[in-house]
A and B are shown apart, each in its own frame.
Chain A
Amino acid sequence: DAGVIQSPRHEVTEMGQEVTLRCKPISGHDYLFWYRQTMMRGLELLIYFNNNVPIDDSGMPEDRFSAKMPNASFSTLKIQPSEPRDSAVYFCASSRLTSGNYGYTFGSGTRLTVV
């Protein structure tokens, strides 16, 4: 099992540029989550999908953020245009609801710096 795979690991971009973060969930997991982590706010849920369908995007900060899941093995989180306050670590996680008192498996994260 390769785990949840995120790319890139690090991204440095200039303010105003478009940023795309990618995630491949664990095969067979039907829930996918995007989280953002900062020192000030900790881990915040941005959006989650069930069977590729967005269920709750109330955590998405504003219209500059968008997420898609075109198939069960791939999701993207896009920021356009990016701003310095978007600098954070973005984690993708996946889960299989039927695994009992389940937790999530996180990817290694993408460390985003917007300058």
Chain B
Amino acid sequence: RKEVEQDPGPFNVPEGATVAFNCTYSNSASQSFFWYRQDCRKEPKLLMSVYSSGNEDGRFTAQLNRASQYISLLIRDSKLSDSATYLCVVRESGGGADGLTFGKGTHLIIQP
């Protein structure tokens, strides 16, 4: 059974701080990895893909550890607008669209 596990939180973090959370996946054959962001009562939106070598997009850094089967997201200099639920997402195969498997999300609250 495909599983993607996340700490549900909430993570309460002061504005300006750095916050990081991880996600573990059960299927070692997983090929593609993503972080999605979901605001309250809104649809999930793609935040960033996660590449094997790690990648950065502004204040956001994503890393992949295939040996330990986990993905991480680091947010630097957090803003109030970063408050949201962050969904870890895994796709099983290297080709074709077999459907993404979503974690249940980590709830992040940035406090002024």
Contact = CB atoms under 8 A, between A and B. Distances in A.
A101 B49 contact: yes
B103 A97 contact: no
B36 interface: yes
Interface residues of B, number: 22
Contacts, number: 47
- Most chain-A CB neighbours within 10 Å: which of B43, B101, B103? B43
B97 interface: yes
Nearest to B2: A45
B97 A109 contact: no
B100 A45 contact: yes
B99 A103 contact: no
Interface in A47-98: 48, 50, 55-56, 59, 91, 95, 97
Given A103-B46, A106-B45, A45 B99 contact: yes
B104 interface: yes
B43 A109 contact: yes
B96 interface: yes
A42 B105 contact: yes
B102 interface: yes
Closest 3 CB pairs of A and B: A103-B46, A42-B104, A106-B43
